[in-house]
Every structure is written in structure tokens, then in C-alpha cells.
Amino acid sequence: MKFLLGSLLLGLASASVSHAPILTGASVETPLTTFNLTTGANCACRTLSRTFSGVIFPRDTNYSAETVEAYWDVRTDLSPACVFLPETANEVAHAIKVLSSCDAQFAVRGGGHMCYPGSNNINGGVLMGLSKLNSYKVHSETIVVGPGMTWYDVYSALDPYGRAAVGGRLKTIGVPGLSLIGGWHYFNNKWGFAMDNVLSYDVVLGNGTQITVNKTQHSDLFWALKGGANNFGIVTKFTLKTFDVPKISTTIQAYNESGIPDFLEAVCHAAKLDEQDPIAAGMVASISYNVTTKAASASLLGVQEGTESPPSQFANFSAIPSTMKIDKVQTMKTWAQALDSPKQMFRVMYSHKTIKPDPQVLYMFYKIWKEAVDEISDVQGLYPTFVTNVHAPGASRVGKTNGVGNVWGLEAEPLILWQFSTGWALEQDDLRVQAWSRQLTEKLHAISVEKGLASDFIYMGDAGEWQDPFLGFPAENVLRMREIRSSYDPNGTFSRLNWGGFKLGV
């Protein structure tokens, strides 16, 4: 979906085309909306355009490609004063110095997948897109990648070597966003989260300084970047651990509503799996509800390392009568190629909480959710999904035994992250959907608390913008993260000027 609101009446000075300067405070029209040009944005855009060719302004032909088409969720389509596309880490560092000296608000985009408005785009500020930082180098047991790569790019690079990395489950998810917020993957149960498999980061700090961060250099920041999100700097290079997984065994299964109780019981069983020598395996398990036909259906996307087919780790799901079942042995690249996001089709909001596995309670949550969906069935384009993500004990055990840890501090226990993923069509329903999703989430979480099943953990990748994931981290970890942020970004570049996404606060 593209939002073109007519001809562009005003522009800014660009490097490629000579436009008359627009004064601070002037109204600037874009393909989406109109904003008033601030002093900081005016300063930064003009300064960057005098030095670099990769600066795009609202009247340039490729502006919409960078501010709309690069994103999958309609809610993240915003209107920056300019877009800067650096080609090297040095250019990122120079840009950060310019943004800081101009006191300009800015956003940073990796893959453009997070649907929290403002997390990776901005109205009236500077958008730094990292798409051109997409080089990589494969080594025997690692791969060095740029932040402009998606996880499909990574799987494609590793495919000729028969290796796999712990990364995103959908094709278009970017490397930086997922790695910095934690990273759910199919192989978490054996090798931990994406953050646990980053061996080194190259980082541009808030003053433009470039440093390499690993277990021995800046080890405090190395720890904080493992789940600390965009609070500390811009990562311009990731060194990732890889694993010998030339082939994977996959299963796609679908069930009608009569199979949902057994489906959710199988989800809970998967969370409790804790073998001494585990097989790497994981899934995407979700339930969709058609508000027109009142029909619900469940689906499983399961992936297991190796060539055993059907994959044994999903035997409990395979025992449920299904309407579809496709088992296949393939490579991670081939599997990921088909798992694209529905780009620009919806406005999307997430809301989630966490519970200890209990099939009866989880099924009760599903039924309450389905009844609640009917209450907003008149919302145009409503597309509701109830998602369950599994946290097996082995996933957190990796971070507790690797000598580094991560900021989550999760115990090695089974958990279910239940989530509402709600799509809709019109901006006028934004507040209604958010209020509905928030109130229902808190209602179900209160039941979890009452039954002694609740966990305070909130995963940023499944959370709504109204949620604060840091409240679910150990308090001492949050305090340490704030101290590290003060040490590496004393001027608050990534809290005062880069305000989008989940921030640590004061």
C-alpha cells in the first residue's frame, strides 16, 4: 500500500538537485503528510548533503522507497526531513557527529521490521538507513555481517558452506534489530538466542567514536548490547557464531478449531522439553480467527536440525488430526525464502505477556481472546492472530554458562510468550485497537498472576509500544545498563536525540 497525497510542493536543499533552502519552521509536504522543519533537522540535512551524495529529501524520486517501501507495517510509514544512507562505518560516525552538533532528532533503520511507530523511522527528523552496509565475510565457524543485511541474506551467504546462524524466522527481519533485542529463532533451545551468538560488535558511540566490543574489549558494553536494544550506539558490524547445519527438517501443519485444545497442549509440552543433549528445534505456533466466518484455525511452522523427516521434536503436533501437513528436508535458505512478511498490507500492533506452561489456562486465554475479538469485529480490515512463542529451559541456560550472560537474566525454566498480533486498515482505529489490546492483555495477565503462573518477562519483539520490557528485567541489570549508557553516551545522543524504540529511561 502506498500513500501518495498529491504533488510535492516544497523541498529541501539536496546534493543532487539545487533547491531553494527552506527556512526553519516552514511547512514541508511529503508523500505522507506535512511537517514543520526544525532547526536541528534543517542543520543536519543541509550539512550532510554538503558532504555526502546519499542524502534524500522529500521531493526526490526515491524518497517513498526509503520511507514507505522499506517498511513492512503501515504504521511505521513516517516522513523524515531527509534520509541519509551511509556506505561505510566512517560515514555513520561522521553523521552521528553532525546530528549531535546540530541537536537533531534522528532514527536508525536496519531491516525496518519493528512495528513500534518511531522505532525505526521519524517525522520531521533525520532517518539513517543502514541498507548499504550489507557486506559480509564467511569464516570457518563465524560470519561477519553488516547491519544492512536481513537474516535471509545471512542464510543465503552461509548456504554454500552448510552452516547456519541463530537469527530471524522471517525473511525480511534485519540483523541489527533482532540481535540487539534478544532474538527468537528455531534453534534457541540448543544454542541460545541471537544475542548469545554475537561474538563481536563494531559500534559507533554517541560522540562519533568507533570501538570494537567483545568479551575482552569493553566487556561491560558487550554484555549490555545483548538484549539492551538501541540505547548505546549504532552497530556497524556483527561477528556471529555459526553451526554445522547443512540441512533442516521442516513441517507445516494446519488444524481446524476442534484441534486447538490439543495444539496448545503440544505447545506447552514443547516448552517443557529439556534434554541433556538436545536436538535444535523450534517453531512458530499461531491461531487465526476470521471475524466474518467465525472460523478459527491453528498452524505450525516447525524446524529441526538434521534430515530426520518427519521431524521427531514435533511428534505431539503430528498426532493431532490436521487439515494440512507438509514435511520436507531442505536448507535454511530455501525454507526462509518463502517466509516473507505481508509488506504494507496492515497497520499492526503487538501486545504480549508471559506465562508458565499450563494447557488449560492457555486455552482459556484463547477463548477469552476470541470472544473479545468479536467486540471489535466492525474494525475495517481486522486481522487478529493469537501467537505462542516457546521458551525452553535450554535457551536461557546458554547465557548462564557462556561466561558473558545477557541483560534478560531469565532463569532456565519453561515459559510461553503469548501475544496478540492485530492487523487493521484505518488510522482512525489506532487508539481503539490499542486500548482493546492493552486492556485485554492486562486482564489475562491478571488471571496468570492470580493462578501463580505469571512471569514479568516482556520480549521487545512481541511487545506493544505501551509496554515497558525493562520492568521485567532484574532491577540490578537495569541499573547496570543505565550506568553503562552514562559511561559510553554521557551526552545522551541515543536517549535525547534518538528517542524511538524501547528506551531505558532515567
In the predicted model, what is the mean pLDDT of the chain?
A: 93
Residue 435: pLDDT over 60: yes
Query: 475 — phi, psi (to 5°)?
Result: -60, -35
Q: Are 395 and 448 in contact (CB under 8 A)?
A: no
**Structure confidence at residue 125 as a pLDDT band (50, 70, 90):** very high
CA angle, residues 62, 66, 70, in degrees to nearest 5: 130
Residue with cell 505469571: 454
Q: How many CB atoms lie within 10 A of CB 5?
A: 11
Mean pLDDT of the region 241-268: 98
Helix (H) or strand (E) holding 351: strand 347-355
Q: Where are the alpha helices (DSSP H) in 219-347?
A: 219-224, 260-272, 315-318, 332-337
- The reported pLDDT for the residue numbered 30 is 81
Mean pLDDT of the region 228-232: 96
Q: Are 489 and 233 in contact (CB under 8 A)?
A: yes
Q: Residue 151's Cα: distance from chain center in Å? A: 12
Residue 11: pLDDT over 80: no
Which of 169, 203, 164, 171 lies closest to 183 in space, CA to CA? 169
Cell numbers that stand for 185 in this block: 529463532
- The reported pLDDT for the residue numbered 24 is 65
Residues 397, 405: Cα–Cα separation, whole Å: 9
> Percentage of the chain surpassing pLDDT 90?
85
**Structure confidence at residue 21 as a pLDDT band (50, 70, 90):** low
Residue 13: pLDDT over 50: no
> Percentage of the chain surpassing pLDDT 70?
95
Sorted by where each starts, the structural domains of the chain and their CATH numbers stand as 27-129 (3.30.43.10), 136-244+474-489 (3.30.465.10), 248-472 (3.40.462.20)
Mean pLDDT of the region 212-238: 98
Handedness of CA 260, 266, 269, 270 (dihedral sign): negative
pLDDT tens column, 168-222 = 998 889 999 999 999 999 999 999 999 999 999 999 999 999 999 999 999 999 9
- The reported pLDDT for the residue numbered 171 is 86
Residue 16: pLDDT over 60: no
Residues 504, 487: Cα–Cα separation, whole Å: 14
317: CB partners within 8 A, 6+ apart: 251, 253, 263, 266, 300, 302
pLDDT tens column, 41-65 = 999 999 999 999 989 999 999 999 9
pLDDT tens column, 300-325 = 999 999 999 999 999 999 999 999 99
Which one-letter amino acid corresponds to residue 17?
A: V
CA angle, residues 176, 181, 185, in degrees to nearest 5: 85
Mean pLDDT of the region 367-384: 97
- The reported pLDDT for the residue numbered 25 is 66
- Three-class SS of 134-191: CCEEECCCEEEECCCCEHHHHHHHHHHHCEECCCCCCCCCEHHHHHHHCCCCCCHHHH
The residue with greater pLDDT, 28 or 250, is 250
- The reported pLDDT for the residue numbered 31 is 81
pLDDT tens column, 340-371 = 878 888 899 999 999 999 999 999 999 999 99
Residues 352, 466: Cα–Cα separation, whole Å: 11
pTM for the whole structure: 0.92
Mean pLDDT of the region 89-102: 98
Residues 418, 291: Cα–Cα separation, whole Å: 20
Residue 17: pLDDT over 70: no
Assign residue 112 a region: left if phi > 0, alpha if psi is -120 to 50, beta otherwise? left
Residues 177, 156: Cα–Cα separation, whole Å: 19
Which one-letter amino acid corresponds to residue 208?
A: G
